[in-house]
């Protein structure tokens, strides 16, 4: 662990970077059907600017980076950014969150460029329901992406399922069965309410409820996964190679162990996903600020990390959509 810590003595070593606000899906819990107002290309940080921010952060002690979007694979030349980040000696883990639609085409080159592993968002195993939840896209493409990621060595491949009552919660045991049959590492995630998903914001299924349903298949034994130290709590069903993980941002929040900052697609550094507090890095970058000035701004962001969010009290997230802040 690094020497970086916030005012609550939480070690900070992880930077999530939204490389684009564009996405090739329109998931019901992420953005409106018509999409969101897109930023201009000028407003989006260049790969060289992202590299400079990460270099400054690495000198402070950040050693893990995750690339997100929107959908990061819709941005051209993503392997170039990964190669740049991989050249920073103290960055020892580069990961990617994707919906998997384009992953089969790029998995091998991403691995070669220096990507360590992927998380793939998948909320249903039913083709018709996939189109209902994503409003477009093909389940087959995501399944091909999962297979290609494993073949390329982007492991452990983690499958993220946002569980929604009356929409896909009847598939909890189907996904859990994939950890038995195919060795999947599935993470079941509570739905976080936001201004972009008001039509489904009442569909929360608690982690405790998820566990009860899955435990009907067998006792969940505490487990660990070989890479990543995020907020999920991992278990295994008896005799399985795959894992069952639970992420509970609402009912059992994990703010007390938060180790991350977020860089938005347009160059704002956010101490917390669920707060609108931001520090602008784009203007200093484009004004030629030296690395030491960027490091000072990053340190300020760390000092401003709040103790926690207030989702459990019914305070939904407003402001920017998740597609712009690296969700």
Q: Which of 34-43, 177-186, 248-257, 258-267 has the lowest mean pLDDT?
A: 248-257
Q: Is the bond into 70 cis (omega within 30 degrees of 0)?
A: yes
CATH class of 14-324: alpha beta
pLDDT digits (tens, 9 = 90+) for 267-309: 999 998 877 889 999 999 999 999 999 999 999 999 998 887 6
Reported as a pLDDT band with limits 50, 70 and 90, residue 32 is confident
In the chain, where does DSSP find H-type helix?
47-60, 78-86, 103-113, 127-134, 139-152, 172-181, 207-214, 282-286, 291-303
Element (H, E) at 244: strand 243-247
pLDDT digits (tens, 9 = 90+) for 92-140: 999 999 999 999 999 999 999 999 999 999 999 999 999 999 999 899 9
Query: How many CB atoms within 10 Å of residue 189?
Result: 23
**What is the average pLDDT score of the chain?**
90
């Amino acid at each position: 662990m690094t020497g970086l810590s916030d005012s609550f003595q939480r070690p900070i070593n992880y930077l999530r970077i939204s490389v684009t606000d564009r996405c090739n899906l329109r998931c019901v819990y992420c953005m409106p059907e018509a999409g969101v107002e897109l930023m201009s290309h000028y407003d989006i940080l260049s790969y060289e600017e992202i590299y400079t921010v990460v270099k400054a952060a690495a000198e402070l002690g950040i050693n893990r980076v995750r690339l997100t979007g929107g959908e990061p694979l819709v941005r051209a030349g993503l392997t170039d950014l990964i190669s740049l980040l991989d050249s920073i000696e103290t960055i020892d883990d580069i990961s990617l969150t994707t919906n998997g639609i384009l992953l089969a085409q790029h998995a091998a080159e991403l691995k070669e460029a220096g990507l360590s592993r992927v998380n793939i968002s998948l909320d249903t195993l039913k083709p018709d329901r996939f189109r209902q939840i994503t409003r477009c896209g093909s389940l087959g493409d995501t399944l091909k992406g999962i297979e290609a990621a494993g073949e390329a060595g982007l492991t452990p491949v983690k499958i993220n399922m946002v569980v929604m009552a009356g929409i896909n919660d009847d598939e909890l045991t189907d996904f859990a069965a994939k950890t038995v049959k195919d060795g999947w590492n599935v993470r079941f995630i509570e739905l976080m309410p936001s201004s972009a998903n008001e039509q489904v914001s009442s569909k929360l299924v608690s982690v405790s409820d998820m566990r009860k349903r899955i435990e009907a298949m067998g006792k969940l034994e505490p487990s660990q996964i070989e890479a990543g130290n995020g907020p999920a709590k991992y278990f295994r069903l008896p005799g399985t190679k795959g894992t069952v993980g639970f992420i509970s941002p609402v009912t059992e929040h994990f703010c007390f162990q938060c180790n991350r900052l977020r860089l938005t697609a347009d160059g704002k550094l956010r101490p917390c996903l669920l707060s609108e507090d931001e520090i602008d890095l784009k203007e200093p970058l484009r004004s030629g600020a030296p690395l030491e000035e960027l490091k000072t701004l990053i340190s300020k962001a760390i000092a401003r990390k709040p103790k926690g969010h207030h989702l459990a009290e019914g305070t939904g997230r407003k402001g920017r959509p998740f597609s712009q802040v690296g969700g």
